[in-house]
Structure 1
Amino acid sequence: MYYKPLAPVVKVLVEEFGLKSGYMTTVNSYTADQKLQDAPHKDLRRARAAAAAAENIVPTSTGAAKAIGLVVPQASNVLDGIAIRVPTLTGSLVDLSVRLEKSPSVEELNASFKKAANESFKFETDEIVSSDIVNSHYGSVFDSKLTNFVESKDGRLYKLFAWYDNEMSYVSQLVRVLEYFVSL
């Protein structure tokens, strides 16, 4: 469910600046379906024992970029992506490169994300690493220190990052949804 940390970031971009296109990379801690010995898997990289969870960086597919359109319809068909499984227990990162309709500064971008912060979306001002978000109840932790862009004749290409604990973040979001349904 890697689109969950991506969704609040994409929502802000769509609503505040207009999203032209983007490419995301989830740098994700290994998961239970990674093999520890040779075994069948639809992705040959993940079928190999050499791709053992705690030993290698494993490029693989993700449905997150396509699924984001279900959550933020304006993002349908303008995002694509890849997942990179890394040898960490938990603590993952979404790396998002985008072209926007508007040309905000880094400060304007960060101000919009700060304004969007809530119980499930944290605006982070410290320089953090993956272990800093372990057991985080936020679905997405926006890393404001890494916001940047490059200018070219084609406009600006923005780089944004959001952290998440792929276990606790998911469970916390699930609990929030259940609490909402119970309150209806």
Structure 2
Amino acid sequence: MNTPLRLAINGYGRIGRCFLRALHESPLKNRFRIVAINEPADLDTMAYLTRFDSTHGVFHGKVEQGEDSLVIDGQAIAVTHASTPEEVPWQALGVDLLVECSGRYGTRDQLQRFLDAGVPRLLLSHPGASAADVDATVVYGINHESLAGTERLVSNASCTTNAIVPVLDLLHRSFGVEQAFLTTLHSVMNDQPLIDGYHNSDLRRTRSAMQSFVPVSTGLAKGVERLLPELSGRVQAKAIRVPTLNVSAIDLMFQAGSDLSAEDINALMQAAAQRAPDFIAYSDQPHASVDFNHDPHSVIIDGGQTRLCGPRMANVMVWFDNEWGFANRLLDVADYWAGLVR
């Protein structure tokens, strides 16, 4: 691509800001230009939270403000504060691709509003309401090459799906996965309060995020089945929010279709990391979660935690930066998708 693809971001929260930062640090930087951000918050706060981040540190660049723009290293990004897709002049801004990071729009009817308002293509930073509500759901490295370029609504799935689907795919193709149970240990999110309060209809989410482990609902099993339909009916999942700012883990228990050993599993994962080092990593060092803060991989397999109970019941643990890894996969999918239509 000689002309950078013109990107916009709708929703400048954790993932929206990580996406901008990830692009700034990425070798793909020159392929894209962020030309617009729509975010209801005021510009002063947007600039401040771009410059300073408690999780990922101080921004490695110059952040300034124009009258109605965020200026990154001298390049102005138009800022709007609209509450609906129709209020933003997407066509006038010359947007080629909008990255939807607000999470407020999930059904096809809701997403269609962006297209009707002049957005040519929409990349979601969430799964959408269902598979039928988007043209494609992509986990980079698994099925991104199935994109044809004719899609207008593409989902980047979820951070947990991006972490576990590559692992389950490898295990199923090599050993057969008869049944699998996934337990996600996920860092706190902004749908939880700091102290107990009337915050959510889910009573567990009314409890303080920083004082307890909090079990919450998860759609991870459905997300896995959407990407790996051959495992339909074989996967169950639960999630527990833990009082850390960032980096999550998935504890995978599975029943294999053939005998295997911990050494077999780890050898398989090491080989996968060597083949796809940009999004899969492997380590057998004695890690803690903080070791993977700001890690761009979709998943890091912790070989030191691989266990067997009998010849076919296995336990695998994986780590992932639920913000930074996912933001980098958004970039990868945007780059691949753009290459199909340019």
TM-score (structure 2 length as normaliser): 0.51
User: What whole-Å deviation, never above 9, does each CA across 1:93-143 have from its counterpart, x for those lacking one?
Assistant: 000000010111111111111111111111112221100000000011011
Partner of 2:212: 56
Deviation at 1:40, TM superposition (A): 4.3
Instruction: Report if the CA contact (8 A) 2:258-2:312 is conserved.
Output: no
1:79 aligns with 2:238: no
Instruction: Report if the CA contact (8 A) 1:22-1:98 is conserved.
Output: yes
Partner of 2:254: 98
CA–CA separation in structure 1 for the residues paired with 2:268 and 2:192:
37
Aligned residue type for 1:54: M
Partner of 2:96: none
CA–CA separation in structure 2 for the residues paired with 1:124 and 1:66:
28
1:39 aligns with 2:198: yes
CA–CA separation in structure 2 for the residues paired with 1:176 and 1:114:
22
CA–CA separation in structure 1 for the residues paired with 2:254 and 2:201:
30
Alignment of 1:1-184 (within 5 A): 1=158, 2-36=160-194, 37-47=196-206, 51-117=207-273, 118=276, 119-151=278-310, 156-184=312-340
Local SS of the residue matching 2:183: strand
Q: Mind listing any 5+ residue stretches in structure 1 that lack a counterpart?
A: none
CA–CA separation in structure 1 for the residues paired with 2:300 and 2:184:
14
Deviation at 1:35, TM superposition (A): 2.2
Percent of aligned positions with the same letter in both sequences?
Answer: 30
C-alpha RMSD over aligned residues: 1.2
Name the structure, 1 or 2, with higher relative contact order (CA <8 Å, separation 6+): 1
Instruction: Report if the CA contact (8 A) 2:246-2:293 is conserved.
Output: yes
Aligned residue type for 2:190: A
Instruction: Report if the CA contact (8 A) 2:260-2:312 is conserved.
Output: no
Aligned residue type for 1:45: R
Deviation above 4 Å: which 4+ runs of structure 1? none
Aligned residue type for 1:126: Q
Deviation at 1:42, TM superposition (A): 3.3
Deviation at 1:3, TM superposition (A): 1.6
Local SS of the residue matching 2:191: coil
User: What whole-Å deviation, never above 9, does each CA across 1:58-80 have from its counterpart, x for those lacking one?
Assistant: 01111112210111222221111
Aligned residue type for 1:34: Q
Local SS of the residue matching 2:210: coil
Q: Mind listing any 5+ residue stretches in structure 2 that lack a counterpart?
A: 1-157
Deviation at 1:55, TM superposition (A): 1.6
Q: Looking at CA atoms only, which structure, 1 or 2, has the larger radius of gyration?
A: 2
Deviation at 1:84, TM superposition (A): 0.5
CA–CA separation in structure 2 for the residues paired with 1:7 and 1:56:
28
CA–CA separation in structure 2 for the residues paired with 1:58 and 1:156:
31
